[in-house]
Structure 1
């Protein structure tokens, strides 16, 4: 894959995330890279103090460093900042970090030599995963600790994760015939200033949530039919009057999923219910609003993945080096917080649909979806599990971006907390997948009580897919393994083909 600095697409980022894509920087970027490196090399040879080139860092910016110590300064920067803790980041996240850092440096405003970018890509293309602890960044002055661990491995001093085991970086690089990187002036700072970790974590969540949201649409529609809900709330005219694009698109998906259902046709006459509960009829309004937030987040993250976010920045056209704050990850933090709210809401309304299904006074199905309630508890406690997960997500959705702790002796006195904002999305997605797995089992059980009537072709396909792994539940049995299997299918995107079979499917994941 040819990386065009500043012009990466969301599809290209998703391909990098998936792995198996050798990367090459567009050769047209080379002159700008070389020009910015020349500016830094001239500054390093000069007498004037230039931050990050011949001075200390942060609160120590007033300390002048001699020319003989400039390489040591950069190496010490990486060593001293490699202080992360926690479990290593997942390989897809690290792949995105390597690729987006290389693409950012290749825009020619960071002052690094081409060999720095070449080494990042050599490590990526060899399938190597630097060991990067997941905790330790506050998302300002860049993702300093995680990026330092990534770079430390490139220097041959850190570790790589190979087949799940940590191995010394020097040995791994030698096996793959990759020369350890030796840093020159400013290069260490350029490598670790930036938002590539928080951005990669947020993109990782965006890509992981895509199949979960697609599953939520299919499973939510199946629940509408299991509860013999109305398709009136999905009428296009309602949603056109509001004009919210996500809502319009989600309603269209629900109309297509429910079209042709014999279950719906069986009670269009004589049904005395005036309106369905919100968890059924307000799905376009709720899930559509979540989709709009995710689309906005995708747009922010795409811009950030293409951005230059280190400091100071080099402008070769006039030889200027200007200190600023592009490393502050507030855009990522706010986007991740919006994603957290959207993820939590998709799970919250799914939990309400499960509660509705087991309540016979609302669903008109047998209590707790079991024919002999009392002797059997049915889905009573499966719903309790869903409720506990929805509650967890409420706590996890608290915005991280509103917190700030000053660091570096108050030099870095407002920080974004973007890295945690993005990192906490993954357990939230797992919780939603489990909730949806439970709902899928419950909705399929509800459909059993309506036989011989059949749902629409897409929803019958969703029912049949589940029944390949989980039989109907006429009496109580051990359901935990089946919940795990259903949740895994939600995560895997196994329901995506059902959406893809719909006519005129809207482009759900376009960022704007």
Structure 2
């Protein structure tokens, strides 16, 4: 089936495809045009290295860039480079991030610009299809190259380092590809791990932002909110694209519900939802565009220019664009997540729900009281993680590499942020569905009714005081399905 295949051609990889390659049972297929671009770059790189200095092929790296590699030492130089750089530390990153890294690096090589032996493309595709995982520790990159992660991968390809054990405890065998010494630096000079995690984060962010709109609409219905804040005229008067998108989505979700509003004006969690959620939608869209551009780029140093028959030494390895885009997305996400926590507060308040405080079974019951604590605990982490990673810098390699954007840390912070956001949305969804059940109400039709049915179909209907941890987990698991309704 077409959905079970992902074709890698070096030009058309999407963030959602990276997520599928990382998480789903798919087959990776190399496109002929990608393999041909890689082959042409490889031939050009070999010819150029025989005629002139080419960084990493005929020279050392970093501050050793002026040190030439003697021809009799050429075969050993690349292996020493891989061994010295495969020195990450700390716990291993999640398997899905490793698979995302492998997918992105494969696509980058297919873009044609690295000069790596084209056999590496088939080898990486085999690694993905066989489910092999190189050990990739969490610490080792700062946004200017995932050298430790890719050096570890290269040593696994060479058979010098073991792949991680399979689920049954066995040590799997690799595809048997031998990376040439001259290609060592070209293979590892990439931000594929950072960009792979960024692609996963962007894909998840788009899903959770869509789910958040659905959950907000359920809360709006539960508190009998006014739909005036979502009127077209309001957003034509202040026409930010994300704001208009959020308002239009709310109009769609609430189209079948026309109850008289309970108040002339609602709290910000409802009234200012488009104005706060809109920036997050725009930030996510920009981040997705940036990351998509990066994962399809021949961002190699040096860039092997086949038509121009040149090796261009450059700074395309620097992922400042991706890091800054993710920094902005986390800041915007914190704002809309704070509104979710505010809406959760209204769902605990009798004046908004017509129920006992905290939707308790009795006036003295605690009901959903603890959900606010959980949501604000998650929100506190997002506030901490929203600090821009780009505010840091570093001077490395004897002063030659005198800047870093820390996009790697930005990607990691975004992954952690999304985990917290997911929990907070789960809390709001539990509260909204419970309120509607206790009110004896449900949306009448359309996507909002479908959302209610999905959540109510599995959430525990009991309202007596009891642990709500399972409810939160179930609600959070339903968020992708809710996002699909839009």
Fold shared, TM-score > 0.5 on shorter chain: yes
1:108-507 to structure 2, matched below 5 A, reads 108-140=112-144, 142-164=145-167, 172-173=173-174, 178-185=175-182, 187-261=183-257, 264-265=258-259, 267-268=260-261, 271=262, 273-361=263-351, 364-374=354-364, 376-451=365-440, 453-457=441-445, 458-490=447-479, 493-499=480-486
Normalising by structure 2, what TM-score? 0.92
Residue 357 of structure 1 contacts residue 365 of structure 1 at CA under 8 Å; is this kept in 2? no
Residue 44 of structure 1 contacts residue 67 of structure 1 at CA under 8 Å; is this kept in 2? no
Residue 159 of structure 1 contacts residue 166 of structure 1 at CA under 8 Å; is this kept in 2? no
- 1:40-65 per-position Cα deviation (integer Å, ceiling 9, x unaligned): 3234434x433211211101112221
CA distance in 1, matches of 2:17, 2:207: 18
- 1:165-221 per-position Cα deviation (integer Å, ceiling 9, x unaligned): 8876xx522xxxx21323231x11111111211110011112223332222111111
Confirm or deny that 1:20 pairs with 2:25: yes
Unaligned regions of 5+ residues in structure 1, if any?
Answer: 500-512
Q: Give the number of aligned pairs.
A: 480
CA distance in 1, matches of 2:169, 2:402: 35
Unaligned regions of 5+ residues in structure 2, if any?
Answer: 1-5
Q: 1:386 to 1:302 in 2, by over 3 A?
A: same
2:50 to 22, 45, 49: 45
Residue 8 of structure 2 contacts residue 110 of structure 2 at CA under 8 Å; is this kept in 1? no
Name the residue aligned to 2:81.
77
Partner of 1:181: helix, strand, or coil?
coil
- 1:321-344 per-position Cα deviation (integer Å, ceiling 9, x unaligned): 121111111111112212222332
Q: 1:468 to 1:369 in 2, by over 3 A?
A: same
Partner of 1:87: helix, strand, or coil?
strand
Q: 1:220 to 1:233 in 2, by over 3 A?
A: same
Partner of 2:251: helix, strand, or coil?
helix
Q: 1:419 to 1:318 in 2, by over 3 A?
A: same
Identify the range of structure 1 (381-390 vs 359-368) with the bigger mean alpha-carbon deviation: 359-368
